[in-house]
A = this chain, B = another copy of it.
Amino acid sequence: MIKTRNTKQKEKIIKYLKENKNKHLTIQEIQNALEDQIGLTTIYRMVNCLVEKGEIIKIPLDNKQGFCYQYKEHTAECESHYHLICEECGDLIHFKSDKVLNIIEQAQEDKKFFINNEKVVFYGKCKECQKNNK
């Protein structure tokens, strides 16, 4: 499914994703943000197309079913950021560490597995949730 034509819907979805490169958006959030109600079907199709083309990443949510999406960052500033997802509140935090690169190399050597550098996820408990239930 490769979308080649320029449509108003396509433009608006991509514009919104680009304006929110630092956020991880669910399909619902994308639809709610776009005032002139674009059909869910269209958003799903567009987003899946962008995932296939490698322009955005798809991250599974932990505490509920579904996924969130994020435009890939190509600036130096946001390079090599990883994801911390709180198992309790579902919050998604960016995390930078050059140590992950070593692991990526090791997986390549040990298992011949190619790790997608943009999609490394650590689940656990965020600062706030740690406070709340102790």
A positions within 8 Å CB-CB of B: 58, 60-62, 65-67, 84, 86-87, 93, 95, 97, 99-100, 102-104, 106-107, 110-116, 119-127, 130
C-alpha spacing A104/B99, complex, angstroms: 10
Task: Verify A116–B111 contact, CB threshold 8 A.
Answer: no
Q: Name the CB-closest residue of B to A102.
A: B99
Copies of chain A in the complex = 2
- Given A112-B126, A114-B125, A115-B123: 16 more A-B contacts, CB < 8 Å: A60-B60, A60-B61, A65-B67, A84-B107, A84-B111, A86-B113, A95-B107, A104-B122, A111-B127, A112-B127, A112-B130, A113-B126, A113-B127, A115-B124, A119-B123, A121-B121
